[in-house]
């Protein structure tokens, strides 16, 4: 097991996942019963609820775990700077003061490689920059170039790299190939944290999601992430439940804590709270920190801002009362 | 705690549901209630308090129903019964639909009242109890609408007494009231002593829905009120509650020619195979045994886990238990609320204190609460493995093979429910129907729906609630005419030169009577032969033989049809002989031809008593299978004895049952002559066993024999009451004639099929 190191938000109890040797038996032992998963996911929102101050605190915690993201072909330095400003000041100062969290920021900013230098400069070391990499979103560019892309992004200052896996390895059951590919990417990341995007919407079954999760963790992923945001189906609660359980199982076999990042599809404050409830239930409080959990989201923050203002004023708010991200 | 502190701790906070509306409703009645009789609330009589177990505060005073109150309510129900039964289907349906709508409109009030009165979490009351109750009324509004199409010629029982328990007060009310009304009955319902409030609130719904006065009557009180209701002049009694009380009610109603359905206790197995989704199965346990604090008749309280994964699985269970939140039932984020009553809490604690197993527990606050509990290292004889605890207590043990899992699962007097967890379709679908229980869930637990029959096997009771099978419980079987008295002629001397003393037929062999006594069979023209007199040991031997012929119940319908056709053929070949023998014994007209025809009918039915797939709102399948009962003991009819034998034997065998038949007293040789036909027709030994003897001597023995699953009586002897009374010992099914005859030559399979099989509902949720 690796030595504890200082993690993103200062926790020292977290040993970085160094991975474990590929173990086919772990993959083969996977069993997922979809109706049972669906039932758990469907009933959870009715079983857990946070109100008033607790709701405000949980929403603030959600903000602190957002990877504020822009991944568009029309991104420009100006657009990215504005996003970074929002990342550092995610809500109106009067609202943040009222809840006693004036220094609240999001977890990180997530951009394409070309925008990394702009973001790094804009954030000035106050927040990490995450870069999507490895031929995002399809992951079908030449393998050497995919590794090279990681290295370039790290060199440009990205502290987190969101890689995409080769879905074909999952769909053809070539788990060893997936392991080796992911391991190579992890090596290319060096000190930067690697989030492995599974593109769960393209993996066909929850069983494949669980297997792919385990293989990526065995290969050393620091986080496993659902989606690029570009698939037809992105993060869902059932998929999240399966991936959280994979993280738990991997923890049991390796001793490492691996992070989780649902991406795409979570745009409402209320939905975000359900994810946190599931996280708290399935993995425990330790995961409710930005070093082990992130939301990949672009529009979620706006909804949370309105909810926080409502908490402070008692009046429902509208988007134009909050700064655009 | 400030927001910033919570931001650090990320603790759960309070999420209270308001009780203001419920309190306002209670206040509007001055927190004192009478009964609801003939469409009106009566003045409170002598009252007792109903309390909230979580806070211990008195919610209201309710009236202790007296025998006079019961009589008034039954009278009102009787008066309303005729017009309600005669109402058009559509008119009854509209009322049920209005009841569904009414419950739905006031759903939160009912949920909060239920939570206050029972201590169950508001989440369950809201999402399960009330939601399913609403669904039950909607579903049965539909059954009312199409009754003439689905149940042509159906006749309701009339006045139904209904006694419901404290664990799901409103839901059990719905399960009782909706089908009864849909089929045209009127009801007198008694909610449990500890939890009367939602039933009292339901009176408002009846009022608003336009339920005619007297159609629904609600009477509060304790067990004495229930006993008075059971003793009243009602036509049918439906009870949900403990096996102990169910047994008393079986005895109380014996011989009264009334309908009875009992939904009783259980100790349901929860089987986890090594290839199961373990986390799914752990989560299932939360819904199986910690749902409603384990105060659930179908709770999966016996965990059977395959040995190789037992340690890992139990570790996961313990970790999950640690996250179960026990506390204020009105908190929306509580998993387990209060136990229903301090007396019940004490009872569960006492049972727990006696176990020899290792007890693991989660956390619970002080007060009327219990933590989720797991007991491991138990041996099979530990009371926790055998007896219903009705609390959040999971008893765990291990098994090695699928066969052993099934064997352990069935090692119980109960038979209410079961769960099988495996991702291997062969393991799951092979084991599920082998569990002797009325409901089995594959990779799931506690799925309930109005369209899916629910009810027990063995000592978990009889009768079904929900679906088409549930409607049958509220329809009166066609009545025959009173049977004429029968005289068994006395006489002595040989009938012909060669002695022909017919023996018994047990396990495919002829057997002399254990007691060594015989009697003459004397026809109108003198002695015809002799038969042995069976005693309790002969009965024991016959039941053992029938038990040993278990393979018959697993044969295909096609094979059973072949054998019944063969039997019919061989009987046809000897038709004259049978007719002559019948004439010699009773002077009766020929029956062999008709008997052959009925055997052909039953051969035809052997592969056609299909189950149903059910229209339940889940992805996957729910199936209602018609399962044979096992061993049926039957007393043969004296009227048309050969046709009756063909009907009884045909029905029992076609549906996969084994039979212990007591020959007609006036024509015993007609039954004993069948041996040779059975022998030559490939009927396996033990499938049919024939005893000769006096019905009155054997009736009590048959009723009380624990190895017999059902007793049928078509006897002319007055034995119906004793059979029903003795059957209370193990709550076996009975189909008795109450001294009435039937048209034996009618082609009416339905009552035979219903009596020879019981519905097993198997849920197979699936999906990708």
A92 in contact with chain B, both atoms CB, cutoff 8 A: no
Residue in chain A closest to B127 (alpha carbons) equals A46
Q: Are strands A295-297 and A193-197 parallel, antiparallel or unpaired?
A: unpaired
Residues in CB range of A20: below 8 A, 6 or more apart: A218, A253, A254
Residue in chain A closest to B4 (alpha carbons) equals A100
Please give the Cα distance from B551 to B760 (Å, whole number): 19
- Better-predicted residue by pLDDT, B378 or A12: B378
pLDDT at A4: 40
- Contact between A53 and B3 using a beta-carbon 8 Å cutoff: yes
Q: Is the separation of the CB atoms in B351 and B384 below 8 Å?
A: yes
Q: Which of residues 190-209 of A touch B (CB under 8 A)?
A: 204-206
Query: Strand, helix or coil at B17?
Result: coil
Nearest CA distance, A282 vs chain B (angstrom): 9
> Which residue shows structure tokens 């945001």?
A229
Please give the Cα distance from B144 to B471 (Å, whole number): 10
Nearest CA distance, B451 vs chain A (angstrom): 19
Q: Which of residues 104-143 of B touch A (CB under 8 A)?
A: 123, 126-127
Residue in chain A closest to B333 (alpha carbons) equals A48
Nearest CA distance, B293 vs chain A (angstrom): 15
State the best of A26, A31, A100, A252 to mutate against chain B, taking most chain B CBs within 10 Å.
A31
Residue in chain A closest to B16 (alpha carbons) equals A51
Q: Which of residues 111-170 of A touch B (CB under 8 A)?
A: none
B323 in contact with chain A, both atoms CB, cutoff 8 A: yes
Instruction: Tell me the CB-side half-sphere exposure of residue B391, using CA atoms within 13 A.
Output: 28
A281 in contact with chain B, both atoms CB, cutoff 8 A: yes
Q: Is A162 a catalytic residue?
A: yes
State the best of A33, A96, A201 to mutate against chain B, taking most chain B CBs within 10 Å.
A33
Please give the Cα distance from B216 to A144 (Å, whole number): 78
> Of B402, B99, B455, which is closest to residue B272 (Cα–Cα)?
B402
- Contact between B14 and A60 using a beta-carbon 8 Å cutoff: no
Average pLDDT of the residues of chain A: 95
Tokens standing for residue B268: 């349901």
Nearest CA distance, B285 vs chain A (angstrom): 11
Tokens standing for residue B687: 């499938």
Please give the Cα distance from B290 to B285 (Å, whole number): 7
- List the single residue in A31, A101, A280 with the smallest CB-CB distance to B277: A31
Nearest CA distance, A46 vs chain B (angstrom): 7
> Of B248, B183, B250, B195, which is closest to residue B220 (Cα–Cα)?
B195
Helix (H) or strand (E) holding B421: strand B417-421
Q: What angle do CA A178, A182, A184 make, to 5 degrees?
A: 120
Nearest CA distance, B410 vs chain A (angstrom): 25
B284 in contact with chain A, both atoms CB, cutoff 8 A: yes
A33 in contact with chain B, both atoms CB, cutoff 8 A: yes
Please give the Cα distance from B519 to B513 (Å, whole number): 11
pLDDT by residue (tens digit) across B123-145? 999 999 999 999 999 999 999 99
Taking phi first (over 0 means left), then psi (-120 to 50 degrees means alpha), and beta for anything else, what does residue A146 get?
A: alpha
Q: What are the contacts of A177-184 at 24+ separation with CB within 8 A?
A: A178/A212, A178/A215, A178/A216, A178/A219, A179/A22, A179/A215, A179/A218, A179/A219, A180/A22, A180/A219, A181/A143, A181/A219, A182/A215, A182/A216, A182/A219, A182/A220, A182/A221, A183/A19, A183/A219, A183/A220, A184/A143, A184/A147
A315 in contact with chain B, both atoms CB, cutoff 8 A: no
Judging contacts by C-beta atoms under 8 Å, the chain B residues touching residue A43 are: 127
Q: Is the separation of the CB atoms in B37 and B69 below 8 Å?
A: yes
pLDDT at B381: 86
pLDDT at B298: 96
Tokens standing for residue B459: 């000592």
Residues of chain B with pLDDT under 70: 492-500
Tokens standing for residue A26: 């772990």
> Of A325, A324, A321, A300, which is closest to residue A95 (Cα–Cα)?
A321
The arrangement of strands across the sheet holding B302-306 comes to B358-361, B373-376, B393-399, B302-306, B269-272, B417-421, B439-442, B757-765, B620-628, B612-613
pLDDT by residue (tens digit) across A106-163? 999 999 999 999 999 999 999 999 999 999 999 999 999 999 999 999 999 999 999 9
Q: Which backbone phi and psi does A196 adopt, to 5 degrees?
A: -95, 115
Tokens standing for residue A222: 């620091």
Residue B285: CB atoms within 10 A of its CB come to 27
Bridge partners of B172? Answer: none
- Contact between A57 and B281 using a beta-carbon 8 Å cutoff: no
Active-site residue list of B? 263, 297
Whether A11 has a pLDDT exceeding 90, the answer reads no
- Contact between A40 and B618 using a beta-carbon 8 Å cutoff: no
- Contact between A33 and B280 using a beta-carbon 8 Å cutoff: yes
Torsion angle of alpha carbons A181, A187, A188, A193, nearest 10°?
Answer: 100
Judging contacts by C-beta atoms under 8 Å, the chain B residues touching residue A61 are: 7, 10
Residue B490: CB atoms within 10 A of its CB come to 9
- Contact between B13 and A54 using a beta-carbon 8 Å cutoff: yes
- Contact between B335 and A205 using a beta-carbon 8 Å cutoff: no
Q: Per DSSP, which regions of B114-211 are E strands? A: 159-163, 186-190
pLDDT by residue (tens digit) across A23-64? 999 999 999 999 999 999 999 999 999 999 999 999 999 999
> Which residue shows structure tokens 């009854």?
B92
Residue in chain A closest to B287 (alpha carbons) equals A40
Q: Looking at residue B329, what DSSP letter applies?
A: T
pLDDT by residue (tens digit) across A214-260? 999 999 999 999 999 999 999 999 999 999 999 999 999 999 999 99
Q: What is the DSSP string of A136-161?
A: TTTT-S-HHHHHHHHHHHHHTT-SEE
Please give the Cα distance from B99 to B106 (Å, whole number): 11
Nearest CA distance, B709 vs chain A (angstrom): 35
ipTM of model: 0.96
Q: What angle do CA B243, B189, B734 make, to 5 degrees?
A: 45
Question: Cα dist. B730→B406, B415, B630, B631, B752 in Å?
Answer: 21, 12, 14, 14, 22
Tokens standing for residue B485: 């008295």
> Which residue shows structure tokens 């990320």?
B10
Q: Is the separation of the CB atoms in B698 and B708 below 8 Å?
A: no
Model confidence, pTM: 0.96
- Contact between B127 and A46 using a beta-carbon 8 Å cutoff: yes
A36 in contact with chain B, both atoms CB, cutoff 8 A: yes
pLDDT at B487: 86
State the best of B1, B2, B3, B445 to mutate against chain A, taking most chain A CBs within 10 Å.
B3
pLDDT by residue (tens digit) across B621-677? 999 999 999 999 999 999 999 999 999 999 999 999 999 999 999 999 999 999 999
Query: Strand, helix or coil at B126?
Result: helix
Q: Looking at residue A263, what DSSP letter applies?
A: B
Sign of the C-alpha dihedral computed for residues A232, A236, A238 and A240 taken in this order: positive
Residue in chain B closest to A278 (alpha carbons) equals B323
A299 in contact with chain B, both atoms CB, cutoff 8 A: no
Q: Looking at residue A285, what DSSP letter applies?
A: G
Question: Cα dist. B763→A53, B275, B617 in Å?
Answer: 42, 19, 11
A39 in contact with chain B, both atoms CB, cutoff 8 A: yes
Question: Cα dist. B173→B106, B116, B689 in Å?
Answer: 16, 17, 43
pLDDT by residue (tens digit) across B196-222? 999 999 999 999 999 999 999 999 999
Q: Looking at residue B665, what DSSP letter applies?
A: S
B333 in contact with chain A, both atoms CB, cutoff 8 A: yes
Size of interface A-B (CB pairs under 8 A): 105
């Amino acid at each position: 097991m690796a030595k504890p190191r200082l993690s993103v938000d200062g926790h020292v109890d977290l040993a970085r996942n160094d991975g474990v040797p590929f173990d086919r038996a772990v993959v083969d032992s996977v069993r997922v019963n979809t109706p049972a998963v669906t039932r758990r996911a469907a009933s959870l929102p009715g079983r857990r609820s946070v109100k008033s101050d607790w709701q405000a605190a949980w929403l603030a915690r959600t903000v602190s775990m957002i990877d504020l993201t822009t991944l568009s072909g029309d991104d420009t330095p100006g657009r990215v700077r504005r996003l970074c400003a929002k990342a550092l000041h995610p809500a109106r100062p009067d609202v943040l003061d009222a809840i006693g969290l004036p220094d609240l920021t999001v977890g990180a900013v997530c951009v394409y490689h070309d925008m990394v230098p702009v973001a790094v400069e804009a954030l000035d070391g106050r927040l990490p920059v995450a870069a999507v990499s490895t031929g995002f979103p399809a992951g079908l560019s030449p393998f050497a170039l995919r590794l090279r892309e990681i290295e370039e992004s790290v060199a440009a200052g990205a502290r987190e790299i969101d890689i995409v896996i080769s879905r074909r390895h999952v769909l053809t059951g070539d788990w060893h190939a997936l392991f080796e590919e992911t391991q190579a990417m992890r090596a290319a990341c060096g000190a930067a944290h690697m989030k492995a995007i599974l593109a769960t919407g393209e993996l066909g079954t929850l069983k494949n999601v669980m297997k792919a999760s385990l293989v990526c963790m065995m290969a050393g992923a620091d986080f496993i992430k659902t989606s690029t945001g570009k698939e037809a189906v992105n993060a869902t609660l059932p998929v999240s439940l399966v991936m959280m359980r994979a993280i738990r199982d991997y923890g049991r076999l390796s001793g490492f804590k691996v992070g989780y990042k649902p991406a795409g599809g979570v745009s409402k404050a209320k939905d975000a709270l359900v994810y946190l409830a599931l996280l708290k239930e399935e993995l425990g409080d330790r995961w409710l920190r930005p070093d082990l959990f992130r939301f990949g989201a672009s529009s979620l923050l706006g909804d949370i801002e309105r909810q926080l203002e409502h908490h402070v004023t008692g009046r429902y708010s509208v988007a134009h009362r909050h700064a655009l991200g | 705690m400030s927001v910033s502190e919570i931001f650090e701790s990320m603790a759960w906070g309070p999420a209270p549901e308001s009780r203001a509306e419920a309190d306002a409703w209670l206040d509007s009645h001055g927190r004192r209630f009478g009964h609801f009789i003939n469409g009106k609330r009566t003045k409170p009589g002598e009252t007792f308090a109903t309390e909230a177990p979580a806070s211990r505060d008195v919610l209201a005073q309710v009236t202790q129903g007296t025998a006079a109150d019961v009589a008034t309510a039954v009278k009102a129900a009787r008066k309303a019964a005729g017009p309600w039964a005669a109402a058009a289907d559509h008119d009854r349906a509209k009322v049920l639909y209005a009841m569904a709508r009414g419950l739905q409109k006031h759903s939160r009030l009912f949920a909060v009242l239920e939570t206050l009165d029972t201590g169950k979490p508001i989440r369950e009351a809201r999402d399960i109890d009330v939601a399913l109750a609403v669904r039950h009324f909607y579903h049965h509004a539909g059954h009312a609408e199409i009754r003439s199409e689905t149940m042509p010629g159906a006749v309701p029982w009339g006045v139904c007494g209904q006694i419901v328990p404290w664990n799901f007060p409103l839901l059990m009310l719905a399960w009782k009231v909706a089908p009864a009304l849909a089929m045209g009955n009127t009801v007198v319902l008694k909610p449990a002593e500890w939890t009367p409030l939602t039933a009292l609130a339901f009176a408002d719904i009846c009022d608003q829905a336009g339920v005619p006065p007297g159609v629904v009557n609600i009477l509060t009180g304790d067990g004495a009120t229930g006993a008075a209701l059971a003793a009243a002049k009602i036509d049918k009694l439906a009870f949900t509650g403990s096996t102990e009380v169910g047994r008393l009610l079986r005895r109380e109603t014996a011989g009264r020619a009334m309908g009875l359905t009992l939904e009783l206790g259980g100790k349901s197995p929860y089987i986890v195979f090594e290839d199961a989704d373990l986390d799914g199965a752990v989560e299932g346990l939360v819904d199986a045994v910690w749902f409603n604090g384990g105060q659930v008749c179908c709770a999966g309280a016996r965990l059977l886990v395959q040995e190789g994964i037992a340690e890992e699985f139990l570790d996961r269970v313990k970790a999950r238990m640690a996250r179960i939140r026990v506390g204020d039932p009105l908190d929306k984020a509580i998993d387990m609320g209060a136990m229903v009553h301090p007396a019940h809490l004490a009872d569960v604690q006492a049972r727990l204190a006696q176990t020899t197993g290792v007890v693991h527990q989660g956390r619970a606050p002080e007060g009327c609460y219990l933590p989720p509990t797991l007991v491991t290292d138990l041996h099979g004889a530990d009371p926790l493995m055998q007896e219903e605890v009705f609390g959040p207590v999971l008893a765990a043990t291990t098994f090695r093979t699928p066969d052993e899992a099934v064997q352990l699962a069935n090692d119980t007097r109960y038979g209410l429910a079961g769960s099988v967890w495996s991702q291997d379709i062969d393991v799951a679908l092979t084991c599920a129907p082998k569990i002797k229980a009325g409901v089995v869930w594959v990779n799931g637990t506690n799925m309930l729906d109005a369209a899916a029959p629910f009810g027990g096997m063995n000592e978990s009771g009889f009768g079904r609630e929900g679906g088409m099978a549930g409607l049958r419980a509220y329809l009166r079987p066609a009545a025959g005419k009173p049977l004429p008295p029968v005289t068994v002629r006395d006489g002595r001397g040989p009938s012909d030169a060669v002695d022909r003393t017919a023996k018994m037929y047990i396990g495919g062999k002829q057997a002399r009577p254990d007691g060594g006594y015989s009697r003459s069979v004397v026809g109108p023209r003198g002695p015809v032969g002799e038969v042995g007199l069976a005693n309790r040991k002969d009965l024991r031997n016959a039941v053992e033989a029938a038990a040993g012929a278990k393979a018959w119940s697993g044969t295909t319908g096609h094979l059973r049809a072949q054998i019944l056709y063969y039997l019919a053929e061989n009987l046809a070949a000897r038709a004259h002989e049978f007719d002559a023998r019948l004439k010699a014994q009773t002077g009766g007209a020929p029956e062999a031809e008709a008997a052959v025809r009925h055997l052909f009918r039953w051969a035809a039915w052997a592969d056609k008593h299909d189950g149903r797939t059910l229209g339940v709102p889940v992805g996957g399948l729910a199936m209602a299978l018609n399962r044979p009962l096992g061993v049926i003991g039957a007393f043969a009819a004296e009227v048309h004895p050969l046709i009756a034998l063909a009907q009884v034997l045909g029905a029992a065998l076609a549906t996969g049952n084994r039979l212990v038949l007591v020959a007609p007293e006036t024509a015993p040789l007609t039954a004993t002559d069948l041996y040779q036909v059975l022998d030559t027709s490939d009927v396996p030994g033990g499938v049919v066993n024939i005893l000769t003897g006096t019905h009155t001597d054997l009736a009590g023995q048959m009723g009380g024999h624990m190895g017999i699953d059902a007793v049928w009586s078509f006897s002319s002897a007055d034995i119906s009451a004793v059979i029903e009374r003795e059957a209370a010992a193990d709550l076996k099914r009975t189909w008795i004639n109450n001294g009435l005859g039937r048209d034996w030559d009618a082609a009416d399979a339905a009552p035979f099929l219903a009596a020879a099989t019981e519905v097993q509902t198997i849920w197979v949720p699936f999906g990708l």
